[in-house]
A = this chain, B = another copy of it.
Amino acid sequence: MARTTDGDDTPVPQRLLAAATRLFAERGYDRTSVQEIVEAAGVTKGALYHYFGSKEDLLQEIYARMLRIQQERLDAYADADELVEKRLRGAAADVVVTTIDNLDDADIFFRSMHHLSPEKHKQVRAERRRYHERFRALVEEGQQSGVFSSATPADLVVDYHFGSVHHLSTWYRPDGPLSPHELADHLADLLLRALRP
């Protein structure tokens, strides 16, 4: 052995994360054994524990990666130099497309969060909260400027939209009649229509 060429040059940690992501989404965190992960990644248990402190650390890393990406994308839309309705619509549609592009991660997110230890769980919720706040700020901006109706508290509006996004992994079918972009446009449209004054 030594000099693992394996026909795959991807670094071992990434290989492990990729395998874990797929398996966690496929069978759930608890139903996926460390043995299965290392086999899928083509390494041994010792290697996993060399790079990650525990199985839970793999999950945490998956969360961190996803949260980072989503926050970056939201920030980009929210900071753009556009009318608020355009920025909100852009962000609302983008999160749909990004979620569909990474359905495995999204699936893990909402099904496995409670498998994190209390501290890590709290930390993920805090980061998620930041994300939510940024989105809410957009809604409030529009409500204050009168371009959106204020009939519904902004918090609720955000939760309403994200509820459907979070459930995409439950009902989205890649072979359905709508492309990810068309679907994203429809959902963003529903949000904007609900906000019409």
Contacts and interface: CB of A to CB of B under 8 A. Distances in A.
A163 interface: yes
Q: Interface majority SS on A: helix, strand, loop or mixed?
A: helix
Interface residues of A, number: 36
A96 B161 CA distance: 15
Contact of A193 (B161, B170, B171, B194): B194
A153 B182 CA distance: 11
A153 B149 CA distance: 23
A133 B110 CA distance: 25
Contact of A164 (B159, B195, B196): B159
Of A30, A167, A196, the most chain B CB neighbours within 10 A belong to A167
Contact of A28 (B115, B151, B194, B196): B115
Interface of A: 27-28, 30-31, 110-111, 114-115, 149, 151-153, 156-157, 159-168, 170-171, 183, 186-187, 189-191, 193-196
16 contacts: A110-B111, A110-B167, A111-B114, A151-B189, A151-B193, A152-B189, A153-B186, A156-B183, A156-B190, A160-B187, A160-B190, A161-B164, A163-B163, A163-B165, A163-B167, A194-B194
Sorted nearest first, the 5 A-B pairs with minimum C-beta distance are A163-B164, A30-B30, A194-B194, A163-B163, A163-B167
